[in-house]
Amino acid sequence: MTPIDSAPARFALFGHPVAQSLSPQIHAAFARQLSIPLQYTAIDATAEAFADLLARFAAQGGGGANVTLPLKQQATALCGSLGDGARRSGAVNTLVRNDGGWHGENTDGRGLVRDLTERHRLDLRQRRTLLIGAGGAARGVAPALLDAGIGDLFVVNRTPERTDALADALGEPGRVHPRYMDDLKAMGEFDLIVHATSATRSGSLPSLPMSLIGTRATAVDLNYGDSAIPFLAWARAAGAHDAIDGLGMLVEQAAESFRLWHGRRPATDEVYAELRQRHALLITAD
């Protein structure tokens, strides 16, 4: 898609809750780096209010937006067109104003893969992978993980219907396998485990057997800060080779969104390092 030629007046993050989001700080840092004028705000939007608030934002000159929990799947229905990642995942995290409507993209997966392969120098190829969760966050990263060359992908979720729906949407029945939480003890070891639920935001973590962790396993939580602590503590106790939170993914997906809006991709390492130092224990993630 052709990027917007000039910076629109307004950008925003929609989600619920969003008060603790780092996205405004990240985009402000990108804008300073590239000398691009930017107004970026966080708008708290429940599922019931989202469509109306987005329409109001567009009427007031909004040119682009990020979408976080719990609105990523709902956002797809508000788009006139979808990019490949959004279409395959059924979830949108980036909106671009285009010919009076919204074009939906999903940059989460590209952000995750870039963080894992370039920042953490991991080889994802042929890794037997477990994805815990089947909501908007899980949907956003699954296609990119498959494209990055992982081996078989097993998806588990508390709600079997959502697990099956995600597996169907990914469309690779020989490679993508829906399973249920009760199956975990018999599933063997994994090389990559991605935690993509919001359960730890309320202080709970699904019961996970330590037998899931293989000898070279990487455990990734798409949350960061306090919300990532329970899963990463479990992974370290189980002997994971790498335990990685979602802060790097957050910065990288934001850079992809910024590129879609402004036609230029900012450098991310300095922004990531500053956030890591200043916000190590922030509670929420996008």
176-225: per-residue pLDDT in tens? 999 999 999 999 999 999 999 987 665 678 889 999 999 899 999 999 88
- Residue 41 is given by DSSP the state E
Whether residue 34 sits in one domain with residue 54: yes
Bind-site residues for NADP(+): 84, 133-137, 157-162, 222, 246
Q: What pLDDT, on the 0 to 100 scale, is given for residue 200?
A: 65
Whether residue 26 sits in one domain with residue 100: yes
CATH number at residue 121: 3.40.50.720
For residues 64 and 104, give the distance between their C-alpha atoms in angstroms, rounded to a whole number: 10
Give the percent of the chain with pLDDT over 70.
93
CB atoms within 10 A of CB 204: 11
Whether residue 203 sits in one domain with residue 114: yes
Give the percent of the chain with pLDDT over 90.
84
Q: Beta partners for 218? A: 192, 242
Whether residue 184 sits in one domain with residue 140: yes
For residue 134, what are the domain limits? Answer: 110-245
Residues across the chain = 286
Q: Is 72 a catalytic residue?
A: yes
For residues 179 and 205, give the distance between their C-alpha atoms in angstroms, rounded to a whole number: 18
Residue 35 in domain: yes
Phi/psi zone of residue 234: left (φ > 0), alpha (ψ -120 to 50 degrees), beta?
A: alpha
Q: For 7-21, 65-79, 242-256, which range has the lowest pLDDT when averaged over its residues? A: 7-21
Residue 4 in domain: no
pLDDT band at 1; cut points 50, 70, 90: very low
Is the pLDDT reported for residue 124 higher than 80? Answer: yes
Whether residue 132 sits in one domain with residue 81: no
**Cα separations in angstroms, 27 against 21, 92, 211, 212:** 11, 18, 40, 37
C-beta separation of 71 from 18 below 8 A = no
Number of domains in the chain: 2
Strands (E) across 38-128 are located at 40-44, 62-67, 81-82, 94-98, 101-105
Pick the more confident residue, 17 or 220.
220
Q: What pLDDT, on the 0 to 100 scale, is given for residue 280?
A: 56
Residue 163 in domain: yes
Residue 2 in domain: no
pLDDT band at 264; cut points 50, 70, 90: very high
Residue 1 in domain: no
CB atoms within 10 A of CB 282: 17
Q: What pLDDT, on the 0 to 100 scale, is given for residue 282?
A: 41
pLDDT band at 278; cut points 50, 70, 90: confident
Residue 3 in domain: no
Whether residue 186 sits in one domain with residue 158: yes
What is the average pLDDT score of the chain? 92
Q: What pLDDT, on the 0 to 100 scale, is given for residue 279?
A: 63
For 133-172, the pLDDT digits (tens) are: 999 999 999 999 999 999 999 999 989 999 999 999 998 9
Bind-site residues: 21-23, 68, 84, 93, 108, 133-137, 157-162, 222, 224, 246, 253
Spacing of C-alpha 139 from chain mean position: 8
Q: What pLDDT, on the 0 to 100 scale, is given for residue 283?
A: 34
Residue 23 in domain: yes
Residue 232 in domain: yes
C-beta separation of 205 from 232 below 8 A = no
Q: What pLDDT, on the 0 to 100 scale, is given for residue 19?
A: 87
pLDDT band at 285; cut points 50, 70, 90: very low
Whether residue 218 sits in one domain with residue 204: yes
C-beta separation of 155 from 134 below 8 A = yes
Whether residue 139 sits in one domain with residue 84: no
CB atoms within 10 A of CB 198: 18
Pick the more confident residue, 245 or 200.
245
For residues 163 and 177, give the distance between their C-alpha atoms in angstroms, rounded to a whole number: 9
Whether residue 241 sits in one domain with residue 119: yes
Whether residue 182 sits in one domain with residue 101: no
Q: Which of 13, 14, 42, 72 is catalytic?
A: 72
Spacing of C-alpha 35 from chain mean position: 27
Strands 190-195 and 81-82: unpaired
Q: Output Rg (C-alpha) for the chain, integer angstroms.
A: 18
Question: Percentages helix, strand, coil for the chain, rounded to the nearest 5?
Answer: 40, 20, 40
Q: Peptide bond before 230: cis, by omega within 30 degrees of 0?
A: no
Q: What pLDDT, on the 0 to 100 scale, is given for residue 281?
A: 44
Q: For 104-108, 169-173, 231-235, 261-265, which range has the lowest pLDDT when averaged over its residues? A: 169-173
Is the pLDDT reported for residue 4 higher than 50? Answer: no
Whether residue 241 sits in one domain with residue 126: yes
For residues 230 and 136, give the distance between their C-alpha atoms in angstroms, rounded to a whole number: 21
Whether residue 64 sits in one domain with residue 174: no
CATH number at residue 79: 3.40.50.10860
